[in-house]
Structure 1
Amino acid sequence: MAEEDSFSSSATTSQEQEQLENRNLIVPSVAADHHTDDLTEASTTLSGFAGVKLGTGSVKKLVIRNFKDKPLILENYTEEAWQKLKEAVQAIQNNTSVQYSLEELYQSVKNLCSYNLSANLYKQLKQLCEQHIRAEIHQLREYSLDTGPFLKKMDKCWQDHARQMIYQVSFENKFLEETNRFYAAEGRKLVQKKEIPGCLYHIKNLLEEEVDRVRAYLSLNTQKLLIAIVEKQLLGEHLSAVLQKGLSYLLDENRVEDLSLLYQLFSRVECGVQVLLQHWIDYIKKFGNSIVTNPVKDKTMVQELLDFKDKIDFIIATSFLKNEKFIVAMKDAFETFINKRSNKPAQLLAKYVDSKLRAGNKEATDEELEELLDKVIILFRFINGKDVFEAFYKKDLARRLLLGKSASVDAEKSMLSKLKQECGTAFTNKLQGMFKDMELSKDIMIQLKQYMQNQNIPGNIELTVSILTTSFWPTYIPKEIQLPPEMERLQENFRNFYLSKHSGRKLQWQSTLGHCVLKAEFKKGKKELQVTLFQTLVLLMFNEGDHFSLEEIKMATGLEDRELRRTLQSLACGRARVLIKNPKGKDVEDGDRFFCNEEFNHKLFKIKINQIQEKETIEEHTITTQRVFQDRQYQIDAAIVRIMKIRKTLNHNVLLSELYNQLKFTLKPSDLKKRIESLIERDYMERDKENPNQYKYIA
């Protein structure tokens, strides 16, 4: 018979039908072309076709029945089949070629199992594998226990063992290929269709499901390979796409839990954390730039930066497990964007500190203020132009000290200590000198009081003077004014007293910093007015007359026009109007006349009349900035001379490199070139005659 028997009623002749009628057929099964088993009958032999009666052109009924008795197995077949299997397993274990085909080995196993020999077959295979493993372990025991080679040998044995398992060759590889193909498509779909939070949680669920499936159905050795494929296709291939789609949203909305999951998932993928780190840096720089480079946000810049820093710190601690790389990257990013706008952040930071240390600030307790100052110092640490901060901080500190506007001496000294710790003694020497001047002034006032009592100097005005060392304090522009005779006598008395103890010193009065307490009597009661010296000069005129014009007040006080108008505006147009302006209006105009407001009334006895404060004038800002730049020139000159004195001869580019390393503020090559030229002109150094780019130090 042929290998395949086909039956077709239309193809059977009538003669054949008669011969086959009422006849039982036995159709033996046919073995594979290349193999004949040694069984008496094939195990899959079919029983006859009983009761088949072929009619003309149709089959009425076909019934297939099994043999009643299974054919007997040939003698020695079990031993011969096992020998084949044993040789094949040993060939695999020894990494040699197998003599038999897989089909032949498969058929042998199938035949043995069909005769209920599977348990014995399993036992023999198990023993064979255990013998091989024991032999391998015995070799390891005899191997050198040197950690590196021993572990490499053990790893090789394990890899060989895993590679030899039929599970890996016949199932695992194909399974992993299909898994890779499936999740490649799933990954593309996820990134395109799902929002970032949903995408992350879906990936997390898929990974958990795969782990559960491996533990339930597969070898645990498959888990690592399988999970690596899932991670790669769902995340590894789409790292930037996922971050571009949703990282900014998660950070803007402070989605801490989602960010934690994002970090955990990216940590599982090769280069995942590094890619996340780069996008993290880009986000910080972009967000920071939007704060620093936008002049509209100048009023809120520092507070926004502090809030942003708090937010970033919390995310690093909570979501990124305090990863040191993210901390360092954050610091570098802050330093980059905060210096994009030269000098302005330093100036605004000093102003912010002034607002927190000034009297009247009731926003925070002492502990909260201390914590806030610590955060300010961290921002200060990122700023390159620390000398700009120092200049504006010093100017504001001077006002707080001289006008008694400091909220807390302890807070002031705490801030000073933090700056000293951050920048060194040289940075805070002048600031400490300001505090020292204020303490010495208190002692001098005690001595002045005794002096005036001993000299029997009459007068009902109590004078308090602060003696300021010029080099410690900001630069103030002296303003000439006309003082009342009583005040002039007091100044002269103090001058005589002070110079008698400190001969050779020069005193210069700073009228812009003076302030007074005046006792005033109105129809509705007595009041104490806390006013500036300029306001005092105007108010004292009304002891001599009922009304004065703008021009008359200007002649009598000697005040500069803009200063006078601001002073009159504070007295006649502010909240506490002790003067009346005619005609009425918010601004002081030429021809205006001023009267004493005898009907003035206020619920408080002590009334502070604030001067109308201009925003920091262009003049003041220019003076402060010029002083910073002048100080920088001195620092550059000193650094150049110091370097050249040590090196004697130096190339231009090397000199610039040294200066960049030593100086702590932002430098332009053109500025350095000007300072080098200045030092050459002053004979501190010279150019090499043969090489203009080479400098020589002149002793």
Structure 2
Amino acid sequence: MESHSEHKNGMKKPPLGSGLKGSAGPKKLTIKNFKAKPRLPQDYEKIAWQKLEEAVSAIHRSSFIRYSLEELYKAVENLCSHKISQTLYDQLKVVCEKHVQRQLDLFSEDSDSEAFLVKLDKQWRDHCQQMVMIRCIFLVLDRTYVLQNSMIPSLWDLGLELFRMHVMSNGSVKDRCVNGLLDLIKRERNRDAVDRSLLRSLISMLSDLQMYHRTFEDKFLDETRKMYAAEGRDRVQEFDVPEYLHYVDRRLREEKERCITYLDQGTQKSLISCVERELISEHVATILQKGLHSLLEQNRLDELKLMYSLLMRVKLGPDSLCTQFNKYAKTIGSNIVCNSEKDSTMVQDLLDFKDKMDTITKSCFAQNQKFVDSLREAFETFINKRQNKPAELIAKYVDLRMRAGNKEASEVELDKILDKIMVVFRFIHGKDVFEAFYKKDLAKRLLVGKSASVDAEKSMLSKLKQECGAHFTGKLEGMFKDMEHSRELMVQYKQHLITQNQTSNIEMGVNILTMGYWPTYNPMDVHLPAEMVKLQEQFRKFYLGRHSGRKLTFQPTLGFCVLKSKFKLGSKELQVSLLQCLVLLLFNEGDSFIYEQIQKATGITNEELRRTLQSLACGKARVLTKIPKGKEINDGDTFTFNNDFKHKLVRIKINQIQMKETVEENTSTTERVFQDRQYQIDAAIVRIMKMRKSLSHTLLVSELFEQLKFPVKPPDMKKRIESLIEREYMERDKDNTNLYHYMA
């Protein structure tokens, strides 16, 4: 190397080693190659190989090696550096191959399967250890010659190839090995204790030798299939369904653990699939038919969850389970809805059944949307099997809850109950039936002040509005507005009486009901006392003075009173209906009257009077005595004031039988719903025809089905079409009787 630099004055320094005398620079060091390549001593290759061969033989015999590993390693390195690698590799292969061939003779003596496997495992482990030690000595050969020749296997791969070729390719050894392994696995499946480490080691050997899949796995899976096919057929008949489900679950867990413990991981998918096919897929129908109904009936959530998880593993399992789940829901639901003897508990039974099925869907079926939709379809189907009745009973159930809500539940609990009712309400097709009965019951609650909670009433109204729209709750909201206006009006009326100095011993309250909002009540002309008539006229004059052009009609059947009555044991306050009040006031004029006298004096209709007298003389609080005794009221019966009446309370509420629903009221409500439906059908037909001008019968019926919110039959539609044709709203085409034209 030469280095050049310049002085500041621009003169160059002489190069190093230039030979100039007096130079103070360092001397240049020159390194030269050997003149001749070093050669191995004579016979070195032969001597070295003898040492190496002796060492390899000692390793095979598991005996002492005379030479140090460093000396042997150096000999291999020297041979490789002098291009003798191929010869060395070939010589080593021959020595190892002869040793492996000799191992085959060791397996001919043993007849016991497990002893054979133990010996084979020992030979395999020894072979692996020997190859590791041999590779340590011949490491240079493995890292130079083998790496440079891709077609030549490494020393480790050479050891595997020799063992596979000379030991495991032998038919007898291979078959005994595979059959022995299968026998051990079979014993383990039968709960016998086996050496898992032996299984793991030999299966790992087959995998290392690349013999696992073609030699062992196919046969193992075939044996597994046969075993579980036979076992499944026996167990599904022998066990009940819960026991069989737990058996299948246990088998699946065992096989999964088996894959983790000693089988090749690639086998897991095929193995689990095989078990699922033989223990689940083949028996889906039997499992469902034999056990699903009882599991659902007994509400066995753990077993249902297990059934779901198992059936979800196989192709047809989810659909089959969903179908049977739907069938069960329809069967039980139909029994609840169609059993007229249990109408009194129908709604509560439906709510309980819905809660139960929702819990099962959520807890056991993972809220699977397919099952949720199936359950919804089932409820919608069976709840409408019995036309109108479920809607009526749901309305009555709401009435019951609204009357007793705060007594049986808190506001929060009542709201939760209403939410559950709304869930069932959504399934009803004839929501107008519910509206009619709900409106009738709401009117009673508002008029007699029996609603447990105004907030709960308005909450229910809000839920109905959200579900069905403002048109559905318009009249119901109007009823609440009437009650609020009435309260305000009564405050004004009392102020008016004070101003006019019109005082009375009787305090009267009036509710003004808008006719279109409230149910229709049949008027009844009764004979009111003069003071009551006077009070009515005073209020009529006050009201009509403020609202001209209106008609005011009093409804005595909706009124109620508080009477102060004197008995031998003290005074009581009787909370009664207006009709009951008229009957009791009659006894101020005498102690005893016959039925006909009472009817003539009060003017109450025959049917109403019988119910009224029944409540006064045959109920729990008997302020009248009936002769002859009995629950039925007949012509000629005599009624006497019961002066000996006693009760622990001062204010006593006497049952208002006239406010309870009668068969006639029920029929009347149903008929009103039917009539309203006729009007809605007529309006829908006219609306469609007015827009379309001309339409075929088929298309008209199709559009009606889409627009109408209640169930209707084609014959009913046809009758309404005929009626509109007669009233000249529409006409038939002269040439085509199935074509209609709108008549403006």
TM category (shorter chain) comes to 0.7 to 0.9
For the residue of structure 2 that corresponds to 1:683, the secondary structure is: coil
How many residues of Structure 1 are paired with residues of Structure 2 in the alignment? 567
Work out whether residues 429 and 711 of structure 2, in 8 Å CA contact, stay in contact via their aligned partners in 1.
yes
Whole-Å separation in 2 of the counterparts to 1:698 and 1:177: 79
* Alignment equivalent of 1:310, drawn from 355, 360, 374: 355
Q: Indicate the residue corresponding to 2:455 in structure 1.
A: 410
* CA distance in 1: counterparts of 2:159 and 2:131, whole angstroms: 17
Query: What is the deviation of 1:672?
Result: 1.0
Within the alignment, does 1:381 sit opposite 2:426 as a pair? yes
Alignment of 1:656-671 (within 5 A): 656-671=701-716
Matched residues in 2 for 1:366 and 1:452: separation?
39
Scaled by the length of structure 2, what TM-score is found? 0.72
The corresponding residue for 1:479 is 524
Which of 732, 739, 742 is residue 687 of structure 1 equivalent to? 732
Give me the whole-angstrom Cα distance separating, in 1, the residues matched to 2:503 and 2:660. Answer: 41
* 1:207 corresponding residue in structure 2: 252
Task: Note the 1:111-260 alignment, pairs <5 A.
Answer: 123=154, 126=157, 166-260=211-305
Which secondary structure state, in structure 1, belongs to the residue aligned with residue 291 of structure 2?
Answer: helix
Identity between Structure 1 and Structure 2 (%)? 59
Taking the aligned partners of 1:425 and 1:324, their CA distance within structure 2 comes to 31
* Alignment-derived partner of residue 640 in structure 1: 685
Q: Secondary structure of 1:358's partner?
A: helix
2:693 equivalent to 1:651: no
Corresponding residue number in structure 2 for 1:497: 542
**Pair 656,125 (structure 1): closer, same or farther in 2 beyond 3 Å:** farther
1:399 is aligned, of 426, 431, 444, to 444
Are the equivalent residues in 1 in contact too, given 2:612–2:658 (CA < 8 A)?
Answer: no
* Separation in structure 2 between the aligned mates of residue 77 and residue 543 of structure 1, nearest angstrom: 134
SS at match of 1:520: strand
- Measured after TM superposition, the shift of residue 572 of structure 1 is 1.9
Q: How does 1:61-80 map to 2 (within 5 A)?
A: none
8 Å Cα contact 2:406-2:453 kept in structure 1: no
Corresponding position of 1:151:
none
Deviation at 1:294, TM superposition (A): 0.8
529-538 or 479-488: bigger deviation: 479-488
In terms of mean alpha carbon deviation, does 647-656 or 390-399 score higher? 647-656
Residues 596-653 of structure 1: CA distance to partner in whole angstroms, max 9, x if unpaired? Answer: 2222222211111113469632211121011111111222222222222333322222
How far off is 1:124 after superposition?
5.0
Q: Are residue 261 (structure 1) and residue 306 (structure 2) matched?
A: yes
- Distance change >3 Å, CA 460–CA 381, structure 1 → 2: same
Q: Give the 3-state SS of the residue equivalent to 2:572 in structure 1.
A: strand
Deviation at 1:434, TM superposition (A): 0.4
1:297 and 2:342 matched: yes
Answer whether contact 1:277 1:326 (CA < 8 A) is retained.
yes
In 1, the alpha carbon distance for the partners of 2:278 and 2:571 equals: 85
Deviations 1:521-552 (A, max 9, x none): 22222211111111111111111112111111
Is residue 424 from structure 1 mapped to residue 446 from structure 2 by the alignment?
no
Task: Rate the CA distance shift 1:353–1:117 in 2: closer, same or farther, 3 A.
Answer: closer
Q: Does the C-alpha gap of structure 1 residues 462 and 394 become closer, same or farther in structure 2, counting only changes over 3 Å?
A: same
Higher normalized helix content (fraction of residues): 2
Structure 2: gaps spanning 5 or more residues:
1-89, 98-122, 136-151, 162-206
Write the letter of the residue equivalent to 1:636.
Answer: I
**Larger-gyration structure (1/2):** 2
1:521 aligns with 2:601: no
d(CA) in 2 for partners of 1:317 and 1:589? Answer: 59
Q: Is the 8 A contact 1:579 1:594 kept in 2?
A: yes
Mark the CA change 1:614 to 1:527 in structure 2 (over 3 Å): closer, same or farther. closer
The residue identity in structure 2 corresponding to 1:655 is: L
Per-residue deviation at 1:76?
A: 7.9
AA paired with 2:364? S
CA deviation string 1:225-275 (max 9, x = no partner): 011010011001111210111111111111111111111111111121121
CA contact (8 A) 1:355 1:361 kept: no
The AA in structure 2 aligned to 1:467 is I
Query: By how many angstroms is 1:428 displaced?
Result: 0.3
Residue 379 of structure 2 is aligned with which of 323, 329, 334?
334
TM-score, length-normalised on structure 1?
0.77
Cα deviation, 1:141-198, whole Å, max 9, x if unaligned, reads: xxxxxxxxxxxxxxxxxxxxx9x95422222122212211221111211221110110
The alpha carbon displacement at 1:215 in A equals 2.7
Q: Cα gap change, 1:465/1:166 in structure 2, threshold over 3 Å: closer, same or farther?
A: same
After superposition, the Cα gap between the structure-2 partners of 1:80 and 1:656, relative to the gap in structure 1 and judged at 3 Å, is farther
Counterpart contact for 2:405–2:414, Cα < 8 Å = no
Match of 1:286, as an amino acid?
A: T
Specify the code of the residue in structure 2 equivalent to 1:609.
Answer: I
The amino acid that maps onto 1:332 is E
**Structure 1, unaligned runs of 5 or more:** 1-74, 83-108, 131-161
Letter of the 1:469 counterpart: T
**Structure 1 runs of 4+ with >6 Å offset:** 79-82, 116-122, 127-130
1:537 to 560, 564, 582: 582
Shift of 1:299: 0.6
Q: Which residue is equivalent to 1:28?
A: none
Cα RMSD after superposing both structures:
2.9
Q: Distance in 2 between matches of 1:503 and 1:288?
A: 55
Deviation per CA, 1:356-381, whole angstroms, max 9, x where unpaired?
10158611111110110010011101
Aligned-partner Cα distance in 2 for 1:653–1:443: 54
Q: Is the 8 A contact 1:346 1:389 kept in 2?
A: yes
Q: Classify 1:262/1:547 alpha carbon distance in 2 versus 1 (closer, same or farther; 3 Å).
A: same
Provide, for residues 93-147 of structure 1, a one-character-per-residue CA deviation record: whole Å limited to 9, x for no partner: xxxxxxxxxxxxxxxx99xx89x889889845748999xxxxxxxxxxxxxxxxx
Return the letter of the residue paired with 1:385.
Answer: G
Aligned residue for 1:597? Answer: 642
In structure 1, C-alpha distance between the alignment counterparts of 2:345 and 2:435, rounded to whole Å: 20
Q: Is the 8 A contact 1:570 1:610 kept in 2?
A: yes
Of the structure 1 ranges 684-693 and 273-282, higher mean CA displacement relative to structure 2 is found in 684-693
Q: Is the 8 A contact 2:565 2:572 kept in 1?
A: yes
Q: CA deviation at 1:458?
A: 4.8
CA distance in 1, matches of 2:569, 2:256: 88
**What's the counterpart of residue 189 of structure 2?**
none
- Secondary structure of the structure 2 residue equivalent to 1:469: coil
SS at match of 1:527: strand
Structure 2 Cα separation of the partners of residues 224 and 253 of structure 1:
35
Of 486, 490, 496, the residue aligned with 1:445 is 490
Q: CA deviation at 1:421?
A: 0.7
The answer to whether the 8 Å contact 1:359/1:408 transfers is no
Deviation at 1:469, TM superposition (A): 0.7
